[in-house]
């Protein structure tokens, strides 16, 4: 066998089905996707305008260091330019951190269940993965702290979490960081940062100068740029330098860079997105209660709910009706389904078809 031993039993990440694929497979014309936590409003209008302006430039390689985006975020976040790194989505930043700091046999601590890429990317790196069960759908940071040993290199924290849609409170995070050995890096994934309104939610950027913390965010969710793949991370300059040394050149394409710069200025679009998500969550809660379905209160743009042992069949029935949702079997949550908040019309269609699917 030519393949590395570390990847022989690897289970690749399977994303939610694309709309066009479902149309082809099932012969449907009207399909809505509520599976991948994308922005239902589409991309930021300012981002679209910037893309159109720069279409004629795509014969050129992009600026490798994301200069203009780096300057804009440095000013907005009040960090030094050399504290920033950019990735092909925030997923790539997970991989860069592992490449830079984790070797064969080193330990990585993750929650279970949580974002699957932490475990998959760690396995590719040859790391020993220590999984700590969540409690009541929330990270158990005390147990994760106890799982740390002298061989631990990175602890991954999704805040808010996917798929649980819950968050780690400020006092929990600070207590965890206080007890952690200085040799351990904490990777705080804030892909859903913009959707959280809770007052005790900690801003990961506040901890990068005091601890070995890498805080990352994405333009995929709140700004609607998932198809362009762009995210960023903030940390101590020395940590960023190490990650940058293992980064591929030109990893963030030209259109992604100009779109992200423009999207940062689109306050109106961001505010509208937040309103739509908040209203949609409330609608789902109300409907799930009427149907007697358990759901997990969410601070994200999706809701996790339980339909029972036939969750797999329910998701398939929805798919046949042109409604794509996320089956949770890959996370070991066989009785649950995850649904992304959509536009009002999409949300109502989902509930209408769900009622039929569980009948």
Can you spell out the DSSP letters for 46-86? HHHHHHHHHGGGTTSPPPTT-HHHHHHHHHHHT--GGGEEE
pLDDT over 90 (residue 211): no
Query: Minimal CA–CA distance to 320: which of 295, 280, 356, 283?
Result: 356
* Number of C-beta neighbours around residue 257 at 10 A: 23
Q: What does the alpha-carbon distance between residue 83 and residue 188 come to, in Å, rounded to a whole number? A: 15
Query: Minimal CA–CA distance to 144: which of 136, 134, 105, 153?
Result: 134
Percent of the chain with pLDDT over 90: 94
User: pLDDT at position 7, please?
Assistant: 87
pLDDT over 90 (residue 25): yes
Mean pLDDT of the chain: 97
How far, rounded to the nearest angstrom, does the alpha carbon of residue 346 sit from its chain's CA centroid? 22
Q: Which is more confident, 16 or 162?
A: 162
pLDDT over 90 (residue 217): yes
Give pLDDT tens digits for 145-201.
999 999 999 999 999 999 999 999 999 999 999 999 999 999 999 999 999 999 999
Q: What does the alpha-carbon distance between residue 151 and residue 153 come to, in Å, rounded to a whole number? A: 6
Residue count (the chain): 359
CB-facing half-sphere around the CA of 353: CA atoms within 13 A: 22
For residues 88-104, give the mean pLDDT: 98
Per the CB < 8 A criterion, the answer to whether 103 and 87 are in contact is: no
Give pLDDT tens digits for 242-272.
999 999 999 999 999 999 999 999 999 999 9
Q: What does the alpha-carbon distance between residue 277 and residue 300 come to, in Å, rounded to a whole number? A: 8
Tokens representing residue 51 in the block? 């893309």
Q: What does the alpha-carbon distance between residue 279 and residue 281 come to, in Å, rounded to a whole number? A: 6
Q: What does the alpha-carbon distance between residue 294 and residue 306 come to, in Å, rounded to a whole number? A: 5
How far, rounded to the nearest angstrom, does the alpha carbon of residue 37 sit from its chain's CA centroid? 9
Specify burial of residue 253 (Cβ count, 10 A radius: 0-12, 13-18, 19+). Answer: middle
pTM, 2 dp: 0.97
User: pLDDT at position 209, please?
Assistant: 85
Q: What does the alpha-carbon distance between residue 275 and residue 122 come to, in Å, rounded to a whole number? A: 36
pLDDT over 80 (residue 214): yes
Listed in sequence order, the residues at least 6 apart from 251 whose beta carbon sits closer than 8 Å to its beta carbon are 86, 87, 88, 92
Residue 186 DSSP one-character state: E
* Residue reference for tokens 């009040």: 78
Q: What does the alpha-carbon distance between residue 254 and residue 267 come to, in Å, rounded to a whole number? A: 22
Taking only Cα atoms into account, the Rg of the chain, rounded to an integer number of angstroms, comes to 20
How far, rounded to the nearest angstrom, does the alpha carbon of residue 38 sit from its chain's CA centroid? 10
Per the CB < 8 A criterion, the answer to whether 199 and 148 are in contact is: no
Listed in sequence order, the residues at least 6 apart from 121 whose beta carbon sits closer than 8 Å to its beta carbon are 94, 95, 98
Domains of the chain and any CATH numbers? 5-43+268-358 (3.90.1150.10), 45-264 (3.40.640.10)
pLDDT tier at 3, thresholds 50, 70, 90: confident
Give pLDDT tens digits for 271-327.
999 999 999 999 999 999 999 999 999 999 999 999 999 999 999 999 999 999 999
pLDDT tier at 210, thresholds 50, 70, 90: confident
């Amino acid at each position: 066998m030519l393949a590395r031993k570390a990847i022989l039993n690897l289970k690749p990440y399977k994303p939610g089905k694309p709309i066009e694929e479902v149309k082809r497979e099932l012969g449907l014309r009207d399909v809505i996707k509520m599976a991948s936590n994308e922005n239902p409003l589409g991309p930021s209008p300012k981002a679209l305008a910037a893309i159109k302006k720069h279409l004629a430039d795509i014969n050129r390689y992009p600026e490798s260091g994301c200069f203009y985006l780096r300057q804009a975020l440095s000013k907005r976040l009040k960090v030094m330019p050399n504290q920033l790194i950019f990735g092909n989505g925030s997923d790539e930043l997970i991989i860069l951190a592992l490449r830079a700091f984790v070797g064969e046999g080193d330990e990585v601590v993750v929650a279970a269940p949580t974002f699957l890429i932490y475990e998959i990317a760690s396995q590719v790196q040859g790391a020993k993965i220590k999984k700590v069960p969540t409690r009541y759908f929330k990270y158990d940071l005390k147990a994760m702290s106890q799982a740390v040993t002298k061989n631990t290199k990175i602890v991954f924290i999704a805040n808010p979490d996917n798929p649980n849609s819950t968050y780690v409170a400020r006092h929990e995070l600070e207590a965890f960081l206080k007890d952690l050995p200085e040799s351990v890096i904490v990777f705080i994934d804030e892909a859903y940062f913009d959707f959280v309104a809770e007052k005790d939610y900690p801003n990961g950027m506040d901890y990068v100068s005091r601890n070995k913390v890498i805080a990352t965010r994405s333009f995929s969710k709140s700004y609607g740029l998932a198809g362009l793949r762009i995210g960023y991370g903030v940390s101590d300059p020395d940590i960023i330098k190490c990650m940058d040394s293992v980064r591929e050149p030109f990893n963030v394409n030209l259109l992604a860079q100009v779109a992200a710069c423009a999207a940062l200025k689109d306050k109106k679009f961001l505010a509208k997105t937040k309103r739509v998500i908040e209203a949609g969550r409330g609608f789902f809660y109300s409907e799930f209660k009427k149907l007697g379905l358990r759901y997990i209160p969410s601070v994200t743009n999706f809701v996790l709910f339980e339909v029972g042992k036939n969750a797999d069949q329910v998701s398939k029935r929805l798919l046949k009706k042109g409604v794509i949702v996320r089956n949770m079997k890959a996370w070991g949550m066989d009785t649950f389904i995850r649904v992304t908040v959509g536009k009002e019309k999409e949300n109502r269609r989902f509930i209408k078809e769900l009622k039929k699917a569980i009948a």
